[in-house]
């Protein structure tokens, strides 16, 4: 069977390609932006990649086309699929029908922390010999690939609330039917498809309605938007987590940066997590992963032991270089809350050392200018916050300086690099934050600082 994937270099669609290849299908795909690490990962698996969307890409007529949610009517290849009557489905529907039937699905949902938590949970199951399948919106360093079929009845999936396809406006996660569901948090995001927070809550409740009464929902006790979702109706037991709090599952911080803490279940110590990750957000992430692992039969102490060997996902505070007293990080944070918690964790770790945050406001929500004051305030742990203002951004970032005095606006990558070259004389931590390629600044900056 020949499957052709539109938008194949997206993290989700690329993961589907790997799984389809593992199932023995012939796989090809097209995308407008073919660049590493996904392009490299796909090429290594023998998957044919086509640059750009054209009707000619379908000359070798596939048996099925899997259409990514970035595709819309008017796209030449989409139009060709429809005109030629080729069978097509959304990515989430294909995954549900081809892979997730009869699986124990462990789904990780929420505005933030999905990729990291999915990677943690997958690694815990792997470490304990469960050999799970997984699909992660990034590349977990413990595995080196973003998705695999697995060798067991367990499948761990990053459960995204974004819509499924141009012909299916339900959130992706309603297709997955999890037995174990982590609801990390819930904030307003994806302003291009959701008019307000209530619209997102409704989609989360659609997910809750699919979880069996013998399943489990896991969520932080402090997430009141999740409380609102569950108040709409919940038929599943809920396990709550907290930090220095009173929940059944509680993290007792030893280091304030979150790099070391005790894990308590009903007040009884289960073990101590000591790792390289920082920030309260990662403490909540790991608590959820431990609770989810227990739901499938893994003792908390064994889960904690596995976490001692956990390697974070690429592009999650990944140190990519240390040059002449400057440490350069690549981070995927692209929402004010994620930016704030990431910088807060780093600040607690490095103390008074200089932190410079370099942000590309690239997500659809950012590009619509939904976050203004919250974006400015999220950068307050940085000594200097450099924001990239390309010509096509659509709104003027200079207004952010009304809310914070540490913000610098740059209109080109060369301007950013020249500024950072000056600041590099004083050393410190340069955190590059974007959910895209940031114009290749990672390589350019390293070359400039050598």
CA gap 389, 369 in Å, rounded: 12
210: its two tokens: 């699919």
Cα distances from 409 to residues 89, 358, 383, 401, 402, in angstroms, run 43, 10, 14, 9, 13
CATH 3.40.50.720 domain range(s) in the chain: 2-89
Would the pLDDT of 20 be above 60? Answer: yes
How high is the pLDDT of residue 311? 83
Please state, as a whole number, how many other Cβ atoms lie within 10 Å of the Cβ of residue 22. Answer: 16
239-277: pLDDT as tens digits: 999 999 999 999 999 998 888 999 999 999 999 999 888
Q: How confident is the model at residue 66 (pLDDT cuts 50, 70, 90)?
A: very high
Task: State the pairing for strand pair 168-171/163-165.
Answer: antiparallel
Q: Which of 170-184, 207-221, 272-286, 332-346 has the lowest mean pLDDT?
A: 332-346
pLDDT at 367: 47
Q: What is the pLDDT of residue 144?
A: 85
Categorize the per-residue pLDDT at 190 as very low, low, confident or very high, splitting at 50, 70 and 90: low
pLDDT at 34: 75
Q: How many contiguous H segments (helices) and E segments (strands) does the chain have? A: 14, 23
* 21 pLDDT higher than 50: yes
- For residues 143-152, average pLDDT: 92
pLDDT digits (tens, 9 = 90+) for 217-238: 999 999 999 999 999 999 999 9
Q: Distance from CA of residue 209 to its chain's centroid?
A: 23
User: pLDDT tens for residues 374-432?
Assistant: 788 889 889 999 989 887 776 778 778 888 889 888 889 999 999 999 999 999 999 99
Q: Is 433 helix (H, G, I), strand (E, B) or coil?
A: strand
Structural class in CATH, domain 102-307 = alpha beta
Percent of the chain with pLDDT over 70: 95
Q: Does domain 2-89 have CATH number 3.40.50.720?
A: yes
Task: List 331's β-bridge partners, or say none.
Answer: 433
CATH superfamily of the 318-449 domain: Mur ligase, C-terminal domain (3.90.190.20)
Three-class secondary structure of residue 111 per DSSP: coil
Give 144 or 55, the one with higher predicted confidence. 55
101-110, 144-153, 199-208, 388-397: the lowest-pLDDT one: 388-397
The per-residue pLDDT for range 300-317, each reduced to its tens digit, is 999 999 998 988 766 777
User: pLDDT per residue over 319-346, tens digit each?
Assistant: 888 998 999 989 877 678 778 878 988 8
* All residues at 6 or more sequence positions from 358 whose CB lies less than 8 Å from its CB, including other chains: 385, 386, 388, 416, 420, 430, 431, 432, 433, 441
What is the structure's pLDDT at 194? 75
Q: What pLDDT is stored for residue 362 in this prediction?
A: 67
Which residues of the chain form CATH 3.40.1190.10?
Answer: 102-307
Whether 339 and 379 have beta carbons less than 8 Å apart is answered as yes
Taking a C-beta distance cutoff of 8 angstroms, is the pair 446, 328 a contact?
yes
């Amino acid at each position: 069977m020949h499957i052709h994937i539109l938008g194949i270099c997206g993290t989700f669609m690329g993961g589907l390609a790997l799984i389809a290849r593992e199932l023995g299908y012939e796989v090809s795909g097209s995308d407008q932006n073919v660049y590493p690490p996904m392009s490299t990962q796909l090429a290594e698996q023998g998957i044919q990649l086509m640059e750009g969307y054209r009707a000619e890409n379908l000359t070798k007529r596939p048996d099925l086309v899997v259409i990514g949610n970035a595709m819309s009517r008017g796209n030449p290849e989409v139009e060709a699929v429809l005109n030629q009557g080729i069978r097509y489905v959304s990515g989430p529907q294909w995954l549900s029908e081809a892979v997730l039937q009869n699986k124990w699905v462990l789904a990780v949902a929420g505005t933030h922390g999905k990729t990291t938590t999915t990677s943690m949970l997958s690694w815990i199951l792997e470490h304990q010999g469960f050999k799970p399948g997984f699909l992660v919106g990034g590349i977990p360093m413990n595995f080196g690939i973003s998705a695999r079929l697995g060798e067991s009845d367990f499948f761990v999936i990053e459960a995204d609330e974004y819509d499924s396809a141009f012909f299916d406006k339900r959130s992706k996660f309603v297709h997955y039917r999890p037995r174990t569901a982590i609801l990390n948090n819930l904030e307003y995001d994806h302003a291009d498809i959701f008019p307000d927070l209530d619209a997102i809550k409704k989609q989360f409740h659609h997910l809750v309605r699919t979880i069996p009464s013998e399943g489990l929902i896991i969520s932080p006790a402090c997430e009141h938007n999740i409380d609102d979702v569950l108040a709409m109706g919940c038929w599943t037991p809920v396990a709550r987590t907290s930090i220095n709090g009173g929940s059944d599952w509680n993290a007792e911080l030893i280091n304030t940066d979150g790099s070391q803490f005790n894990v308590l279940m009903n007040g009884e110590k289960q073990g101590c997590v000591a790792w390289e990750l920082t920030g309260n957000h990662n403490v909540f992430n790991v608590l959820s992963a431990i609770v989810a692992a227990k739901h499938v039969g893994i003792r908390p102490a064994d889960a904690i032991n596995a976490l001692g060997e956990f390697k974070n996902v690429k592009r999650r505070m990944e140190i990519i270089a240390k040059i002449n007293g400057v440490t350069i990080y690549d981070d995927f944070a692209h929402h004010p809350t994620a930016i704030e918690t990431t910088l807060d964790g780093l600040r607690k770790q490095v103390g008074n050392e200089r932190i410079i945050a370099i942000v590309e406001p690239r997500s659809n929500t950012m590009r619509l200018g939904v976050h203004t004051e919250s974006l400015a305030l999220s950068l307050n742990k940085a000594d200097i916050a450099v924001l990239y203002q390309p010509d096509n951004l659509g709104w003027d970032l200079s207004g952010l300086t009304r809310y914070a005095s540490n913000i610098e606006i740059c209109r080109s990558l060369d301007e950013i690099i020249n500024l950072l070259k000056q600041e590099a004389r004083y050393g410190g931590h340069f955190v590059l934050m974007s959910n895209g390629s940031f114009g290749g600044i990672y390589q350019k900056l390293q070359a400039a600082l050598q």
